[in-house]
Amino acid sequence: MLTRRTFAAVLIAALAMPTLAAAQATTPSAATIERQLEAAPKVKLRPNQRVTIREFKRRPDLRRMARSIDIQSINFAFGSAAISESQYGKIENIADALRRILRRDRGARILIEGHTDAVGSFQSNQILSEQRAASLKRTLVREFGVPGHALETVGYGEEFLLVQTQNENWRNRRVTLRRFDDFIR
């Protein structure tokens, strides 16, 4: 049985700590997304060093050099790639940033990477991450008018965990936007 003092302490602690929902609900602003994807490239590749899109997707060393931003706030239901309309406000930030970038640079190309946590089989997480990346692209194109030709998708499943754990962790369930036009032929 909780005493008043214990109840008050628990209540204060709960109010002082950010909740999981609040942490997940934080979406970078369109300006922040735009700034990250428009920053000066970390590395300039010579034309003979450029690769195909397929090679870029397979090379973590190149992807790490590309301008990018993790978006951890798009909430998918467990085991689902569907994006509910309740998430559209978050996606609108992404769409606004991408449209502004593409207005200034029609050759800009963005890779949407899907990631999962390590719960479930490697194969099911791989498929789910691919479906989530494709779902975000579809929503950006159909609902927000982002040109589809500027977007590529790939899923990495549980391969690139932010938090190294075999347990559920919301920070690992994310999409990463990565600007790659500086890297391809």
User: Is 130 within a domain?
Assistant: yes
State how far the alpha carbon of 91 is from the alpha carbons of 49, 56, 73, 106, 145, in Å: 34, 25, 9, 21, 12
Per-residue pLDDT at 8 = 43
Which domain does 170 fall in, by range? 30-36+52-183
CB 94 within 8 A of CB 140: yes
User: Is 66 within a domain?
Assistant: yes
User: Is 1 within a domain?
Assistant: no
Q: Tell me the pLDDT band of 11, cut-offs 50, 70 and 90.
A: very low
Query: Concatenated DSSP letters for 169-180?
Result: -GGGS-EEEEE-
Q: What's the pLDDT tens digit per position in 118-163?
A: 888 999 999 999 999 999 999 999 999 999 999 999 999 888 877 7
User: Is 4 within a domain?
Assistant: no
Round to whole Å and give the CA distance between 8 and 158. 40
Q: Tell me the pLDDT band of 4, cut-offs 50, 70 and 90.
A: low
- Does the pLDDT of residue 74 top 90, yes or no? no
Query: Concatenated DSSP letters for 111-149?
Result: EEEE---SSS-HHHHHHHHHHHHHHHHHHHHHHH---GG
CATH of the domain at 115: 3.30.1330.60
User: Is 6 within a domain?
Assistant: no
Give the number of other Cβ atoms within 10 Å of residue 27's Cβ: 19
User: Is 3 within a domain?
Assistant: no
User: Is 84 within a domain?
Assistant: yes
Per-residue pLDDT at 6 = 43
- Does the pLDDT of residue 90 top 90, yes or no? yes
**Residue 149's Cα: distance from chain center in Å?**
19
Provide the number of structural domains found in the chain.
1
Higher-pLDDT residue of 1, 26: 26
Round to whole Å and give the CA distance between 51 and 16. 49
Q: Looking at residues 159-184, what average pLDDT do you find?
A: 84
User: Is 123 within a domain?
Assistant: yes
Question: Quick one: what percent of the chain has pLDDT higher than 70?
Answer: 86
Which residue is associated with the tokens 């085991």?
Answer: 79
- Does the pLDDT of residue 56 top 90, yes or no? yes
Strands 151-155 and 67-71: unpaired
